[in-house]
Structure 1
Amino acid sequence: MSQKIAGFLMILGIFMIFEWVSLGFNLADGHPTSFYVVHGILIAVNIILAVVLGIIGWRGLRGAIRGRRGDAG
């Protein structure tokens, strides 16, 4: 994986976490409970996806740097 793609995945993960946490704090009162359950599930799933993308990007970035230096492990 190239450094650009790895960096993009890390930035995307950070953006997704920021976006969904902001949405969670901005949900207004007065909706039915099902609205909050559905949005809570969406927020949780997207934060998990963001963390996975960040980890993949981090590992890809470390691998690209190691490959550039010629390290085997």
Structure 2
Amino acid sequence: MQISRKIAGFLLALAAFMIFEWVNLGFNLADGHATSFYVVHGILVAVNIALAIVLAVIGLRGLRGSGGLRGRAQGAKRPPV
């Protein structure tokens, strides 16, 4: 399955935003909460960063598959739609 360059770019932008947002949240957690608060938010941060990495990989593969990064530079033709 091949995705368009717009979708691939959107996935990469979304992944970058997710990583920025959740890492920022992780650093900004205030002191004084119960341990369970930090455990839950730590799990949320880890899961969302993992999802962002998956989205980034899909976006990069989409760009490569559509000829966005390497294919056009090497003269590859687009497959018919």
TM-score by length of 1: 0.91
Pairwise CA distance, 1:71: 6.9
Match of 2:77 among 55, 70, 73: 70
Match of 1:61 among 60, 63, 66: 63
Match of 1:22 among 12, 24, 37: 24
Gaps of 5+ in 1: none
Question: Aligned pair count?
Answer: 72
Task: Give the whole-Å Cα distance in 1 for the aligned partners of 2:33 and 2:58.
Answer: 36
Query: Conserved in 1, the CA contact under 8 Å of 2:66 and 2:78?
Result: no
Pairwise CA distance, 1:69: 3.2
User: Identity of paired residues, percent?
Assistant: 68
Larger radius of gyration: 2
TM-score by length of 2: 0.83
Gaps of 5+ in 2: none
Moved over 2 A (4+): 66-69
Q: Which has the higher helix share?
A: 1
Letter in 2 for 1:55: V
- Residue in 2 that maps onto 1:8: 10
- Residue in 1 that maps onto 2:34: 32
Q: CA-to-partner distance for each residue in 1:34-61, whole Å, 9 max, x for gaps?
A: 0000000000000000000000000001
